[in-house]
Structure 1
């Protein structure tokens, strides 16, 4: 089973240039996440899919769909999006998911070429949750540096939480992260 997951991940990485605008890989102490976005930041729509493997056999998948555009916050050039993130997860004895509404923003720092800060926040109340999830919150904050024209490295914090009906809150994925993003 472990080798089949690795085969699927290797196939996804190999086909990314034909299917996507960018691919990112990020790691925390307990998880690894791959994300493929299908449209460039200049497009009006942003769509992507991701998969996270969390230590202890927890699998988390996401599908993103956002309207996006360029704007400015203060004098900082910003790419922002508003939309949804559908998240499904499976653990040994419980599983669930939700459709979170929210958005993202990535701000470039003009005084330091290549440096940007960004984040995303999506929330799903119980009406948009299913399975064992009663609500869900997905949050990410990061600082990125564009090393070369088509690659950047980043560090930040990732938080994915859901409430289980009988047992309370559970953090599906949480921690400091580091990663890289490749643009095609």
Structure 2
């Protein structure tokens, strides 16, 4: 029953996020990636040029059941040389090891290879320190690296590695919630 409730919450969050970003966004993206133990969905949209609002959900069975939700506000810039974003992210953890949320900082950065303009490489990272957390969460992070290929101007495919972890102050300590390879697709509109 707990898994069914989480799946319903995941679907509800994704639909609400998509409706919110779609209603206000001048441009945006939808991203879906899969790994051996995890699935992640994200939606992002520019509120105004250079400012993006988005969010997503990661569900992993890596070492126990973990669902990680996030909402973020980033300053973004994309040109033919680079694609970057920096800002704040609220992350909410719902895991077998503990629950809680917090406000963190981070961003992403990719560079396009001059000799292969359809290929970009880079990564992302977000960290939530203990000073701005709630409930059982002491601190947490998500980091990843990716190599992307633009199949069309609006469709990128990618492969990458991701790690998500959290430290819970309920006696369970630091837990890696997801780690491994991923393959994904991002649609831009």
CA apart distance, 1:34: 0.3
Q: 1:49 aligns with which of 26, 51, 55?
A: 55
Find out whether 1:131 has 2:135 as its counterpart. yes
Task: Compute the TM-score of the two structures, normalised by the length of structure 2.
Answer: 0.81
Trace 1:88-107 onto structure 2 (pairs within 5 A).
Answer: 88-92=92-96, 94-107=98-111
Structure 1 contact 16–36 (Cα < 8 Å) conserved? no
User: Which segment is superposed worse, 102-111 or 16-25?
Assistant: 16-25
State the alpha-carbon separation in 1 of the partners of residues 99 and 91 from structure 2: 11
- Report the TM-score when normalising by structure 1: 0.83
Structure 2 counterpart of 1:172, from 147, 165, 177: 177
Once the two structures are superposed, residues 57-113 of structure 1 have per-residue CA deviations (whole angstroms, 9 ceiling, x without a partner) of 422100111112358xxxx81222221121101124621122111221121112102
RMSD of Structure 2 on Structure 1 (CA): 2.8
Counterpart secondary structure, 1:130? coil
* Number of matched pairs: 179
**What residue number does 1:33 align with?**
40
Deviation at 1:171, TM superposition (A): 1.2
Question: Residues 53 and 73 of structure 2 are in contact (CA less than 8 Å); yes or no, is this contact kept in structure 1?
Answer: yes
Residue range with higher mean Cα deviation, 17-26 or 95-104 = 17-26
